[in-house]
Amino acid sequence: MMDFAGLIAKGEGQTTEFKKSLSSRREALEALCAMVNADCAKGTVLFGVAPDGTVCGVESGNLDTAQRSLSQAINQGFDPPLRSEIQVTEFEGKQLIVLTAERPRSVPYHEYGGRAWIRQGSEKRQLTLSEKDQIRRSRDRAFHPGPWKCDRCGSWVVQLISVTMTKDGMKKNYDCSCGGQFWPCT
């Protein structure tokens, strides 16, 4: 169970965005995109809370339909697909819609509506081409030159020498002998 009182009291920030109404859906999803693309790789949008933290609740109406159309917008708008969760909750007698998402390590960045956003504090901006390139080099294992660190045993290697043949050709092998996986060491 999320600590809503704490979350609202803390205000908007690197991983939290407030939206008073569901009509700001596009801005909300851009903000979510910007949050998951930052290094912390996760974000929460609270619908029904004003930017100053006032709990106003979402428009009364069909919340099932609202949830479904939000989830549809996420499925259609994000590339690669975004792992997200939507829940309806009651807080101080008002209905809130809580949208949370996380970027898996295997995704360097997500785009929403064809644009890649990044968040700094509570502000967002679009990634430039050279930033996208730099992010790909530091987060995408196919582009990363090393060194590497295992996410399980913590062992560290300068180069991955083992490769696997797949139907798409030669692929670096990221498996560590301990059962973990090698990821870019940053």
Binding residues (CB under 5 A) for Zn ion: these are 150, 152-153, 176, 178, 180
- Strand-pairing partners, residue 84, are 101
Taking the complex as a whole, the smallest distance from the CB of residue 152 to Zn ion amounts, in Å, to: 5
Alpha-carbon separation of residue 177 from 14, 45, 181 (angstroms): 36, 40, 9
Which DSSP string do the residues of 40-98 spell out, in sequence order? T-EEEEEETB-TTS-B--PPSS-HHHHHHHHHHHHHHHEESPPEEEEEEEEETTEEEEE
Residue with smaller CB distance to Zn ion, 42 or 141: 141
Residue with smaller CB distance to Zn ion, 63 or 157: 157
Taking the complex as a whole, the smallest distance from the CB of residue 181 to Zn ion amounts, in Å, to: 8
Residue with smaller CB distance to Zn ion, 86 or 160: 160
Taking the complex as a whole, the smallest distance from the CB of residue 185 to Zn ion amounts, in Å, to: 13
